[in-house]
Amino acid sequence: DTEVTQTPKHLVMGMTNKKSLKCEQHMGHRAMYWYKQKAKKPPELMFVYSYEKLSINESVPSRFSPECPNSSLLNLHLHALQPEDSALYLCASSQVLEGTGNTIYFGEGSWLTVV
């Protein structure tokens, strides 16, 4: 099973709303990632968690707040977003953060529209 599950698949939110994106994997992976992808562009790294601790924050605005409650779950809390934040948000995981043989597995993504 190489599955990363993301919910919801689609989300429409107003600029004053608070919502969350959720990600789950049961592969025993200890590194989890959030990426943002705009149309016709490659994914851009936002956050990396390693052993449930935040390892990388790519200078993401504070209106995006990640959380890793346990080794299987990763959340992205959204608050006061802007229309330009509309994008496909991808969650990914890998066995560990370091190492040369680390395949990264992606979920199907959550389509976010900010109105």
Partner 1 sequence: KQEVTQIPAALSVPEGENLVLNCSFTDSAIYNLQWFRQDPGKGLTSLLLIQSSQREQTSGRLNASLDKSSGRSTLYIAASQPGDSATYLCAVRTPGGNKLVFGAGTILRVKS
Q: Which residues bind partner 1 (CB under 8 A)?
A: 2, 4, 6, 33, 41-43, 45, 48, 55-56, 88, 90, 92, 97-109, 111
**C-alpha pair distances (Å), 108 with each of 3, 20, 51, 111:** 9, 16, 23, 9
Place of tokens 């004053």: 16
C-beta closer to partner 1: residue 1 or 16: 1
C-beta closer to partner 1: residue 16 or 59: 59
C-beta closer to partner 1: residue 39 or 84: 39
Q: Which tokens belong to 84?
A: 């330009």
